[in-house]
């Protein structure tokens, strides 16, 4: 069997954890399996590298930022290989260039295009454990790229797909995917299974246990994932196309604090204005989520929407520069908001899920500022300070029955 095992930053945070991971990988290897290990940067390394960059230049060139961030993963894989060597087991560490893992050019947000498997196969054939840097790639200019925060999960899935691995295991600091972030909602339950579609919504809406693109890719290539703990042997959560267990009404609650609201005030109530606003943002690669348009009054209306907080400054600047073109009187923004979402395939056939969610928020006195829905999710925008109270109230409403 060929098994891809990915370990996140907290799982390799110090010497003891590195040896713990080495030991688990060696156990798999000694069963006669081929083992490919994907690692993230140790502990909070990536955060620290970003701080260092911003201290030198608050707006660092994206190419150089990727060059810097990629060093975090390179440190982990080299140390891991040294640990395995100390334990007497042959291994080799490889970075994205050595593999080669080809990506698109977008620094900080690159996507995999193609992974060469020859070098990996060659190393596996010589019975080495192959340890590969997560989160990074190489673009057509031969520059280092990164995949966006949390991207090592995507590296693992991409490798599992390219190598036709028999299993892809994501090891982290919790025992699996829960009905809510167990650090915010202590009575959250571990799920035995979850579908790709539900997991994709949860990941996109802020449950960072898996990088959303890793789920997208797993679905596309039919890679079944297991999310489990790097610290114990508890059974984890399986992510797959269809679950065997009867689908619950709600499979999870997610929170996203990386949200900001923009309001474009007093635009003309005529065709084409929404198009002009969102086209401007799309051309700058700025994603928009929840959108709300007010009823027209005296020929004008307001359009509000949310963007990722990291994009706020750029979005506001673009809109201000184009104020006349979009006929806006004023651009307002608020970066003290957060999104709380519920996700579940079961809500498609159950009216009243939205009202139950709103009732739970009303019961704890939380004001809803915006709402968005799809077939399998409902998202509300609230004040950031209310997030934890909202998560618990909504979770209890659906899970404590």
Q: Which residues bind Mg ion (CB under 5 A)?
A: 8, 150
Please state the closest distance from residue 73 (CB atom) to ligand ADP, in A.
Answer: 12
Residue placing its CB nearer to ligand ADP in the complex, 172 or 195? 172
Does residue number 388 form part of the binding site for ligand ADP (CB under 6 A)? no
Does residue number 112 form part of the binding site for ligand ADP (CB under 6 A)? no
Q: By rule CB under 6 A, what string of x and - marks binding of each residue 126-155 to ligand ADP?
A: ------------------------x-----
Please state the closest distance from residue 377 (CB atom) to ligand ASP, in A.
Answer: 24
Q: What is the DSSP secondary-structure string of 258-299? A: EEEEEEEEEEESSTTHHHHHHHHHHHTT--EEEEEEPPPBTT
Q: Is 242 exposed, middle or buried (0-12, 13-18, 19+ CB in 10 A)?
A: exposed
Residue placing its CB nearer to ligand ADP in the complex, 154 or 304? 154
Please state the closest distance from residue 30 (CB atom) to ligand ADP, in A.
Answer: 24
Residue placing its CB nearer to Mg ion in the complex, 50 or 82? 50
Q: What is the DSSP secondary-structure string of 148-206? A: -TTTHHHHHHHHHHHTT-SEEEEEESSSS-BSS-TTT-TT--B-SEEEHHHHHHHHHTT
For ligand ADP, the binding residues in 172-231 under the rule CB under 6 A are: 172-174, 177-178, 180-183, 207-209
Residue placing its CB nearer to Mg ion in the complex, 176 or 353? 176
- Which residue of this chain has its Cβ atom nearest to ligand ADP in the complex? 8
Which residue is listed with tokens 């297991």? Answer: 226
Given ligand ADP, Mg ion, ligand ASP, none, residue 207, with its beta carbon under 5 to 8 Å by kind, binds ligand ADP
Token output for 111: 């996507």
- Residue 401 is classified by DSSP as -
**Sign (positive/negative) of CA torsion 232, 234, 237, 238?**
positive
Does residue number 149 form part of the binding site for ligand ASP (CB under 6 A)? yes
Residue placing its CB nearer to ligand ASP in the complex, 95 or 251? 95
Does residue number 43 form part of the binding site for ligand ASP (CB under 6 A)? no
Q: How many residues does the chain have?
A: 401
Cα distance from N-terminal residue to C-terminal residue, the chain: 42
Does residue number 318 form part of the binding site for ligand ADP (CB under 6 A)? no
Please state the closest distance from residue 169 (CB atom) to ligand ADP, in A.
Answer: 12
Residue placing its CB nearer to ligand ADP in the complex, 8 or 137? 8
Which residue is listed with tokens 């083992």? Answer: 35
Numbers of helices and strands, H then E, in the chain: 12, 18
Given Mg ion, ligand ADP, ligand ASP, none, residue 181, with its beta carbon under 5 to 8 Å by kind, binds ligand ADP
Residue 172 β-bridge partners: 229
Residue placing its CB nearer to ligand ASP in the complex, 12 or 319? 12
Given Mg ion, ligand ADP, ligand ASP, none, residue 72, with its beta carbon under 5 to 8 Å by kind, binds ligand ASP
Residue placing its CB nearer to ligand ADP in the complex, 96 or 205? 205
Please state the closest distance from residue 165 (CB atom) to ligand ASP, in A.
Answer: 19
87 by DSSP, 3-state: which? coil
**CA–CA distance, 129 with 28 (Å, rounded to integer):** 10
Which residue is listed with tokens 């009905």? Answer: 179
Residue placing its CB nearer to ligand ADP in the complex, 174 or 267? 174
**CA–CA distance, 18 with 11 (Å, rounded to integer):** 7
Does residue number 344 form part of the binding site for ligand ADP (CB under 6 A)? no
For the sheet with 136-138, list strands across it: 112-115, 101-103, 136-138, 144-146
* H or E element that contains 389: helix 387-399
Token output for 333: 């923004």
Token output for 275: 């198009």
Given Mg ion, ligand ASP, ligand ADP, none, residue 195, with its beta carbon under 5 to 8 Å by kind, binds none
Does residue number 48 form part of the binding site for ligand ADP (CB under 6 A)? no
Applying CB under 6 A, the residues found at the interface with ligand ADP are: 8-11, 40, 150, 172-174, 177-178, 180-183, 207-209, 252
Q: Which residues bind ligand ASP (CB under 6 A)?
A: 8-9, 40-41, 46, 72, 134-135, 149-152
């Amino acid at each position: 069997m060929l098994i891809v095992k990915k370990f996140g930053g907290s799982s390799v945070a110090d010497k003891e954890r590195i040896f713990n991971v080495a030991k688990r990988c060696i156990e798999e290897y000694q069963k006669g399996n081929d083992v490919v290990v994907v690692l993230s940067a140790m502990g909070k390394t990536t955060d620290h590298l970003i701080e260092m960059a911003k201290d030198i230049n608050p707006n660092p060139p994206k190419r150089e930022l990727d060059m810097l961030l990629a060093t975090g993963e390179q440190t982990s894989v080299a140390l891991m290989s040294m640990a395995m060597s100390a334990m007497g087991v042959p291994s080799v560490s490889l970075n994205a260039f050595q593999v080669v893992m080809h990506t698109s050019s977008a620094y900080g947000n690159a996507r995999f295009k193609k992974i060469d498997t020859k070098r990996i196969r060659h190393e596996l054939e010589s019975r080495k454990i192959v340890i590969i840097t997560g989160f990074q790639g190489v673009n057509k200019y031969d520059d280092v790229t990164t995949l966006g925060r949390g991207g090592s999960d995507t590296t693992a899935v991409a490798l599992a797909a390219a190598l036709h691995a028999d299993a892809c295991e994501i090891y982290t600091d919790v025992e699996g995917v829960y009905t809510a972030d167990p650090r915010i909602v202590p009575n959250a339950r571990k799920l035995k299974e979850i579908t790709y579609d539900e997991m994709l919504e949860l990941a996109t809406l802020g449950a960072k246990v898996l990088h959303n693109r890793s789920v997208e890719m797993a679905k596309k290539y039919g890679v079944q994932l297991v999310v489990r703990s790097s610290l114990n042997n508890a059974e984890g959560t399986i992510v797959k196309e269809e679950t065997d267990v009867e689908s619950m009404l709600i499979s999870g609650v997610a929170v996203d604090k990386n949200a900001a609201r923009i309001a474009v005030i007093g635009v003309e109530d005529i065709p084409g204005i929404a198009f002009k606003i969102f086209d401007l943002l799309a051309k700058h690669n700025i994603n928009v989520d929840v959108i709300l348009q007010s009823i027209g009054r005296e020929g004008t209306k307001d359009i509000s929407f949310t963007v990722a907080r990291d994009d706020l400054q750029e979005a506001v600047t673009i809109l201000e520069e184009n104020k006349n073109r979009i006929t806006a009187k004023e651009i307002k923004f608020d970066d003290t908001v957060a999104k709380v979402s519920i996700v579940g395939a079961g809500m498609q056939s159950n009216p009243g899920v939205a009202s139950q969610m709103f009732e739970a928020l009303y019961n704890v006195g939380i004001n809803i500022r915006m709402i968005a829905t799809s077939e399998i999710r409902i998202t509300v925008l609230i004040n950031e300070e209310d997030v934890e109270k909202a998560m618990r109230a909504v979770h209890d409403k659906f899970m404590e029955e």
